[in-house]
Structure 1
Amino acid sequence: MPTRRLMPDVIKNQELSCLPPDATVRDAALLMAERRIAAVLVTQGRTLKGIVTERDMTVRVLAAGLDPATTPLSVVMTADPDTLEPSAAALAALELMERHHYRHLPVAVDGEVVGMVSVRDLFAVVRSHLEDEIRNREAFMFGSGYSAEATVG
């Protein structure tokens, strides 16, 4: 797979979804529902403090019997999460996420969050690469202008 960088190859024009540590779990749930996302970055200004995911809400809030309306994110977030820099290879992100079993990875520079990559974002990169590989192999095997989709006339 050609080296694709997290920024700008995977993440482009991303609107960050951030809340401060004292925001409630309910605030995070509402933001996730509104933006149709599965994770929120917990920041103080632009400084990354943690991340809260749907899985965190299920395990650390609902299963623990905490009240989402009064529980601050600082209590249930994953503090100081792993990050990668924007210049990191997409493959490095995928390997890190697979090794630690998480689906979202903040992208940061010197502790300042600049993006977040999801396994879905990385899947799109892998899929695109595989499609390109198939097209290139078909062109090599059958010559230019031929493909598996060609019909016999």
Structure 2
Amino acid sequence: MTTVEHILDVKGRGVFSVDVDAMVLDALKLMAEADVGSVMVMDGERIAGIFTERQYARRVFLLGRASPVTPVREVMETDVICVRPEKSAEDCMALMSEKRLRHLPVVKDGELLGLVSIGDLLKSAIADREFHIDQLVEYVGH
């Protein structure tokens, strides 16, 4: 069973973030430069929220708000669902499906260790399936 910690070991633990006082435009620029769908919103070392493409579409664009003058703190998701590093990839996929999430921060003892996306979890699931198939082929071939 693959854990979130293993996924972070493979993909890296870097997290893109903006300060809680940043403007939406700053967060969007960072997301575009990094080619990611979300950024963590931090208040110092503390997670204040998460800002995603979904929040932008629903809480900024569709409401006619201006990105250069709208603070991220006004439109971010503050009810951030986090997981511990020992959580299984399968459990995370179920949680993401149930809660309709695409990104899960990984936290241990209050420290942000990384972020996994649904894409990261799918890649891991595919790699696990390929490994098992290869093992079965090897076993049957002997």
TM-score, structure 2 length as denominator?
0.92
Is there any run of 5+ residues in structure 1 with no aligned partner, and where? 144-153
Could you tell which deviates more after superposition, 63-72 or 14-23? 14-23
Task: Select between 84-93 and 113-122 the one with higher mean Cα deviation.
Answer: 84-93
Greater share of residues in helix: 2
Contact 1:57/1:76, CA 8 A, preserved across alignment: yes
Which runs of 5 or more residues in structure 2 are unaligned?
Answer: none
Counterparts of residues 1-153 of structure 1 (less than 5 Å):
3-7=1-5, 9-12=6-9, 13-143=12-142
AA partner of residue 10 (structure 1): I
- In 2: Cα distance, 1:39 partner to 1:94 partner: 17
- Once the 2 structures are TM-superposed, how far is the Cα of residue 23 of structure 1 from its aligned partner? 0.4
SS at match of 2:136: helix
The alignment partner of 2:69 has SS state of: coil
Q: Determine if contact 1:24/1:71 at 8 Å carries over to the other structure.
A: yes
Q: Deviations over 1:96-150 (max 9, x none)?
A: 101111110111123332211001110111001111121122222232xxxxxxx
Q: Secondary structure of 2:50's partner? A: strand
Residues 40 and 52, structure 1, Cα contact 8 Å, conserved in 2 = yes
Q: Distance in 1 between matches of 2:39 and 2:114?
A: 11
Q: Tell me the amino acid that sits aligned with residue 42 of structure 2.
A: T
In 2, Cα distance between equivalents of 1:5 and 1:39 = 21
Classify 1:97/1:121 alpha carbon distance in 2 versus 1 (closer, same or farther; 3 Å): same
Question: Structure 1 residue runs of 4+, over 3 Å off?
Answer: none
Percent identity of paired positions between Structure 1 and Structure 2: 31
1:80 Cα offset (Å):
3.1
Task: Report how many aligned residue pairs link the two structures.
Answer: 140
1:48 and 1:80 in contact (8 A); partners too: no
CA-based RMSD: 1.2
CA positional deviation for 1:69: 0.4
TM-score normalized by the length of structure 1: 0.86
Distance 2:17 2:48 in 1: 10
